[in-house]
A and B are shown apart, each in its own frame.
Chain A
């Protein structure tokens, strides 16, 4: 007995669409948009506006806790600009900084292998240097100086 569930298919389709949308948010284009100067400046302005507005509305607060919501909003606004945040043993590293660190690590590994390859070829050539009879330098290089 086979049964089809149209509502289940619709839910699965919605989930897939949502997942693809989330993937798009993580794309390079989105990151570029996030890091562009105008948007960064707008975020800074918004953070400043929130602080000034809150000060105007709340006045000088009696307790520090009264500023917690303001601090939370400002933090959320500035979070995309932070390369890394470490708090209470938890480290948040922005994607851009992580990519940069990964690129540096790959560059180092690449340099190691390039140098190793060139050194290996030089060592191999040195081992084979007398396989064929070497030539006196003055005679062999006379036309090149």
Chain B
């Protein structure tokens, strides 16, 4: 459906009236038509996958995001505005990690941002009841802050 929309969009852009070419005012670059952005961290993890078929399975899941609405996941992300909702998609390969994404703000050109990949078994256990555990939430919060701090330290070191 999205691809058909893009085809219509391109044919309108290429329509010639004699020597005059008409273009719609809201023309967007071709590579921004997917509506889905992927973070650099996720891309790096996908490219590091060595098991055959797993990276492709994750890629297909990511590209199906607007049509295939995932399940909400209660994820406490430091620095997020209240009400930010994350969703999860499980790729078709049983070895592939869960894809975590969220909606972008209405001002953004894109609709979705893939923010993280999560170990599939861990996600299933988390969504199966461990999300309610205070211990899990506390440890997860500490690990998240540690991840952010470590990343900040690395970026500061690379800037020197």
Contacts and interface: CB of A to CB of B under 8 A. Distances in A.
A128 B63 contact: no
A142 B32 CA distance: 13
Contacts, number: 167
Q: Is the interface of B mostly helix, strand, loop or mixed?
A: helix
Contacts of B42: 125, 129
Interface in A61-88: none
A140 B38 CA distance: 8
A145 interface: yes
Contacts of A97: none
A114 interface: yes
Contacts of A141: 38, 46, 59, 62-63
Chain A interface size band reads 20 to 34
A137 B145 contact: no
B20 interface: no
Interface in A102-145: 111-141, 144-145
Q: Is the interface of A mostly helix, strand, loop or mixed?
A: helix
Contacts of B22: none
A136 to B, nearest CB: 5
A140 B33 contact: no
B71 interface: no
B63 A112 contact: no
A134 B53 CA distance: 23
B147 A120 contact: yes
Interface of A: 111-141, 144-145
22 contacts: A112-B133, A112-B136, A115-B125, A116-B135, A116-B139, A118-B118, A118-B122, A120-B144, A121-B116, A123-B77, A125-B39, A125-B115, A126-B115, A126-B116, A130-B113, A131-B40, A131-B151, A133-B40, A137-B36, A138-B34, A141-B46, A144-B59
Interface of B: 31-34, 36-43, 46, 55-56, 58-60, 62-63, 65, 75-80, 86, 100, 102, 110, 113-119, 122-123, 125-126, 130, 133, 135-148, 151, 155
